[in-house]
Amino acid sequence: MERNEILKQVNAIFIDTLDDEDVVIEETTTANDVEEWDSLTHIQLVVAIEKHFKIRFTSKEIQSWNNVGEMLNCIQEKGI
Amino acid sequence: MIFKLGDKFEEHFIVSDETYNGFIQIFKDTNPLHTDENFAVEKGFKGKVMHGNILNGFLSYFIGECLPTKNVIIHSQEIQFKNAVYLNDELQFKAEIIGIYESVNAIEFKFDFKNATTKTVAKGKIQIGIIK
């Protein structure tokens, strides 16, 4: 899948999970840039992304992410 | 991880006088559907309809007390009420693990409550976290 398409689908997951139609994420977006992106929401986002792409992350992978771009790298590395 | 995909759990609950009256005493929902037999019958029910959210109390008990660990917290839950529950109804509760998300220590269950006639009265999903 093209990276832009993955970003688009992940953005839709953010909109749904955060219940905020205005959320726009980019490669450089971090949790600090999105007000509703707290620790509990982070869990919901990860679960929703794992379900959507039918993949599983490890806790080590999640802890290594510094921004959305690194999350996308991880998704792509799983063959998406 | 102490849970496995497909793990199943069962519990048995009764909507007793104590539960029903306690719910009303605490939450003050005295809507006539729940407290007036004649009103409920006029609306097509067999009797006073128990508050659906009593079942959420049973769910809380299941998560908090019936799992093999006490290190749990509810992240989210959704429930659909399918049929009315009446006073002293005996409910068979079944839950099954349908998702394990080890990266974030989260577990997802699907569940249902059935009454004595095996009719589903409620069903839904609940996601919990395993806290360290």
Q: How far apart are CA A76 and CA B111, in angstroms?
A: 34
DSSP state of B63: I
A74 lies within 8 A of chain B by CB: no
| Sign for the pseudo-dihedral over CA of A5, A44, B103, B68 | negative
Question: Could you report the per-residue pLDDT of B10-48, keeping only the tens digit for each?
Answer: 999 999 999 999 999 999 999 999 999 999 999 999 999
Q: What is the model's pLDDT at position A42? A: 95
Q: Which CATH architecture has domain B8-130?
A: Roll (3.10)
Q: What is the model's pLDDT at position A63? A: 93
Tokens 């497909």 belong to B6
CATH number for region A3-77: 1.10.1200.10
B32 lies within 8 A of chain A by CB: no
Question: Could you report the per-residue pLDDT of A1-24, keeping only the tens digit for each?
Answer: 999 999 999 999 999 999 999 999
Question: Could you report the per-residue pLDDT of B68-116, keeping only the tens digit for each?
Answer: 999 999 999 999 999 999 999 999 999 999 999 999 999 999 999 999 9
Q: Cβ(B94)–Cβ(B111) under 8 Å?
A: yes
DSSP structure string for A8-75:
HHHHHHHHHHHT-TT----TT--GGGSTT--HHHHHHHHHHHHHHHT----HHHHHH--SHHHHHHHH
Q: How far apart are CA A8 and CA A30, in angstroms?
A: 16
Q: How far apart are the first and last CA of chain A?
A: 6
Shortest Cα distance, chain A CAs vs residue B48, angstroms: 36
**Structure ipTM:** 0.85
Domain ranges in chain B are 8-130
Q: Which of B5, B104, B131 to mutate to test the interface with A (most CBs of A within 10 A)?
A: B104
Instruction: Give the one of A44, A51, A56 whose C-beta lies nearest to B103's C-beta.
Output: A56
In this structure, what token pair is assigned to residue B70? 């006490």
Q: What is the model's pLDDT at position B125? A: 98
Confidence of residue B132 (pLDDT cuts 50, 70, 90): confident
Q: What is the model's pLDDT at position B1? A: 82
**Mean of the pLDDT values across residues A39-44?**
93
pLDDT at position A38 over 90: yes
pLDDT mean across residues, chain A: 95
Instruction: Give the one of A40, A46, A61 whose C-beta lies nearest to B101's C-beta.
Output: A46
Domain ranges in chain A are 3-77
